[in-house]
Amino acid sequence: MTQILPSSNETQRTESIASEAALSVRNLTVQLPKGMERPHAVKDISFDLRKGEILCIIGESGSGKSVTANTIMGLLPPSIKATGGTITLGRQNILELPEHDLLSLRGRVVSMIFQDPLSALNPLMKIGDQIAEVMQVHNIGTRESRREKVLALLEEVGLPEPAVLQGQYPFRLSGGQRQRVMIAMALALDPDILIADEPTTALDVTTQAQILELIRRIQKRKNMSVMFITHDFGVVAEIADRVLVMEKGSVVEQGIASEVLQSPAHPYTRKLIAAVPRMSQSDRRNELRRETVLKTENLQKTYQTSLGLFKPQRTVKAVNDVSITLCEGATLGVVGESGSGKSTLGRMIVKLMDSDSGRIVFRQTDIAKMSDADFKPMRPQIQMVFQDPFASLNPRHTILTALTAGPLAHGNLTPDAAREKAARLLDLVGLDKKSLDRYPHEFSGGQRQRIGIARALMFDPQVLVADEAVSALDVSIQAQILDLLTKIQRELKIAMIFITHDLRVASKICDEIIVMYRGQVVESGAPSAIFRSPQHEYTQRLVASIPGADWTVE
């Protein structure tokens, strides 16, 4: 079993934390609409958020973490209601406050950082105006003083050139920059309590490390109370003073972070910790030297991006002279930050994007310059599992249609044979064949990802490109999908390119790893060599940025 140790930077932080509660939740129950899989989103939960501490709430999707946060903020949808308990802030039960009083508390006393900054930010408003609006709603300051505060906040959260950036729209910023803007908005009114709902889930490891350090630094300087919602125990080990574990709407364990991490008392906590991807101490055994299935030679892809009206275009080399080799039955990991060229490389290999130059050789045939018509007979042999299982399935199509439309269009199977194969593959990925007539919205994220894998396997591919296929999943679901991919690969002898920003996952599933930085391969080798003794400065930075990097021991 994996043993999780607290980060060396965070030992004994709880000694300096005052025991006085900034916020108290007692016997809180939030009811779900009729027809849901359970009657309550959260049931009879109690905990305190103490002054000046970081409390991490951890659990899988559906455990009630976000519902708890939204109840505290008064942001529940009309169909979900708190039906019991109290949430005490100061001497007030905020569940009894009218909407007007809640509005005055939001941002000023309790503020929230949301999981998806692109959805939370107004795409039609400039960044500076959105931050200033928080102060304007509360009638704080003049237009000029608000503008000065915006610049100060952007500088505080580490954004470059605040005077320029305040005039930009959200789509022009990277994911990490948008998350910093959300933090600036949350801090605009100097709140006493900050709630962060999965603020680093979709970020690469270096950006995640920067955001965690930023939140920790600001919390310490302002002595704020922080409620940090996450499903990543690495984050817990990195920043938490105390931890609260939720399962299916109930609190199953809570306590000092180091004690819960080292000696989890509840079976559910132990299961979550056991599912945490950890840096493998040894490489996968792949004794047979199989033949090469696919290779790229000096692959290039360049973009021209505009910096704005009347401004010169900027040339970005998304993939710059990349050469890789993929053998039968092997897994090649492609790791790097957002913008490193990983997904562009994957999309060129499956011919969803054309390369500018170089070769993509599949079974002795260069497919790089093939037209769509010429490549169509070969397309079934190179398939992709996409990052977002929510967006990659048509919500209006049943699972049967999602799985069989491609093979039927290619004329590979008859309708009856396609349905039979779809049922067989659903069983292979751990889903009931009765699910064929259901729709995507009736499945969880992990189940949808299994459907995406089954859809790719309908073509009996020789090469599978998995693009961040587990990055947004809970650790337990993530472990199941990784085990599933390993099982399928072993049984079907599929060669796989596994694209990820999580180095722990890469070390677990890959035979070989390449590290990409600004479009180039800067390092390659076996996982143990890459992670134990990284040679390139960029790889060293990636390894050092893994949250809780020193807490996983086999």
Q: Is 1 exposed, middle or buried (0-12, 13-18, 19+ CB in 10 A)?
A: exposed
Note whether residue 214 is domain-resident.
Answer: no
- H or E stretch including 150? helix 143-156
Lookup: tokens for 183: 């933090």
Q: How far apart are CA 5 and CA 264, in angstroms?
A: 12
Given 156, 190, 224, the domain boundary residue is 190
**Same domain membership, residue 518 and residue 375:** yes
Q: How far apart are CA 461 and CA 149, in angstroms?
A: 56
| Cβ(294)–Cβ(349) below 8 Å | yes
- Residue-range definition of the domain harbouring residue 165: 116-190
Say which DSSP state 344 is in: H
| Cβ(475)–Cβ(276) below 8 Å | yes
Q: How far apart are CA 127 and CA 123, in angstroms?
A: 9
Note whether residue 273 is domain-resident.
Answer: no
pLDDT tens for the chain, 554 residues long, are 444 444 444 444 444 444 588 999 999 999 988 877 789 999 999 999 999 999 999 988 788 998 999 999 998 888 889 999 999 998 889 999 888 888 888 888 999 988 777 778 999 999 999 999 999 988 898 999 999 999 999 988 888 888 888 999 988 887 778 888 988 999 898 899 999 988 877 677 787 888 888 888 889 888 999 999 988 888 888 899 999 999 999 999 999 999 999 999 999 999 888 887 776 666 666 555 578 999 999 999 998 765 555 566 677 888 999 999 999 889 999 998 877 889 899 999 999 999 999 999 998 999 998 998 999 889 999 999 887 777 788 989 999 999 999 899 888 789 999 999 999 999 888 888 888 998 888 887 778 888 988 899 899 899 999 988 887 677 777 888 888 888 888 888 899 999 988 888 888 889 999 999 989 999 999 988 888 888 999 998 888 888 765 554 44
Given 169, 190, 211, the domain boundary residue is 190
CB neighbour list of residue 368: distance below 8 Å, 6 or more residues apart: 299, 348, 354, 355, 358, 359, 360
**Same domain membership, residue 472 and residue 359:** yes
**Same domain membership, residue 173 and residue 301:** no
Specify the pLDDT at position 289.
Answer: 55
| Cβ(512)–Cβ(202) below 8 Å | no
Given 159, 190, 221, the domain boundary residue is 190
Note whether residue 136 is domain-resident.
Answer: yes
Note whether residue 287 is domain-resident.
Answer: no
**Same domain membership, residue 321 and residue 173:** no
**Same domain membership, residue 304 and residue 185:** no
> What are phi and psi for residue 372, nearest 5 degrees?
-60, -40
Note whether residue 151 is domain-resident.
Answer: yes
Q: Which residues of 150-168 are buried (b: 16+ CB within 10 A; e: fewer)?
A: beebbebbbbeebeebbeb
**Same domain membership, residue 336 and residue 467:** yes
| Cβ(96)–Cβ(145) below 8 Å | no
Note whether residue 376 is domain-resident.
Answer: yes
Query: What CATH number does residue 535 fall under?
Result: 3.40.50.300
pTM given for the model: 0.77
**Same domain membership, residue 472 and residue 337:** yes
- H or E stretch including 73? helix 65-73
Note whether residue 480 is domain-resident.
Answer: yes
Note whether residue 438 is domain-resident.
Answer: no
Q: How far apart are CA 393 and CA 452, in angstroms?
A: 8
Q: How many domains does the chain have?
A: 2
> What are phi and psi for residue 318, nearest 5 degrees?
-70, -40
**Same domain membership, residue 496 and residue 365:** yes
Give SS3 for 295: strand
> What are phi and psi for residue 183, nearest 5 degrees?
-65, -40
